[in-house]
Amino acid sequence: MAKESFDKEIQFLRMLVLTSGAYSRQQFAERLGISVHTYDKTIRRLKDILQAVYQQLPQEQGKEFAETLRFNYYESADPMLLFLYRAKSLKDSETYRLTLLLAAMQEARTAMELLDACCGQMPADLPLPDEKTIRSDLKYLEEVGVIRREPGGRPYRYRIHNDLTNELTYEELVDLYDFVDVMSNTQVPSVQGYLLRDTIKKAVKQAENETAFVEPFLYKYHYHSRILDEAHLNTLLHAIRQRRLVRFLYFSPKSRKSYGSQNTNPLFERETEGKQELVLPIKVVYDHQYGRWYLLGTNARHGVKKYRMEGLTQIEEGEAVSEDLFDAKRQQLEDQIRHSWLIDTGRSVTVRARFYNPEGVQPNFVRERVLSQGQWGRIAVEEEDSFVYEITVNGTTEIKPWLRSFGSSCEVLEPAALRRELMEEWKEIQDYYESVREDF
Classified by CATH at the fold level, domain 236-259+272-336 comes out as SH3 type barrels. (2.30.30)
pLDDT at 258: 66
Q: Any idea what the Cα angle at residue 48 is, between residues 42 and 53, rounded to 5°?
A: 125
d(CA 251, CA 322): 29
pTM over 0.95: no
Under CATH, which architecture does the 92-161 domain have? Answer: Orthogonal Bundle (1.10)
Per-residue confidence in pLDDT tens, the chain, 440 aa? 445 567 777 888 777 777 766 778 888 888 887 888 888 888 777 776 666 555 444 444 444 555 555 545 444 555 666 767 766 545 556 767 877 888 888 888 898 988 888 888 887 777 888 888 888 888 888 887 788 888 888 888 998 887 777 788 888 888 898 999 888 888 888 888 888 888 888 888 877 665 677 777 777 666 777 888 888 888 899 999 999 999 998 988 777 666 665 555 444 445 456 788 899 999 999 988 888 899 999 988 888 999 998 888 888 999 999 999 999 999 999 999 999 999 998 899 999 999 999 987 788 899 999 999 999 999 999 998 999 999 999 999 999 999 999 999 999 999 999 999 999 998 888 888 876 655 55
pLDDT at 99: 77
pLDDT at 26: 86
Torsion of CA 412, 414, 416, 421, to 10 degrees: -40
Q: Which CATH number, 3.30.1950, 3.30.70, 3.30.200, 3.40.50, labels domain 348-432? A: 3.30.70
pLDDT at 370: 94
pLDDT at 58: 43
pLDDT per position as a tens digit, 67-80:
555 545 444 555 66
pLDDT at 273: 64
Domain ranges for the chain: 3-87, 92-161, 165-224, 236-259+272-336, 348-432
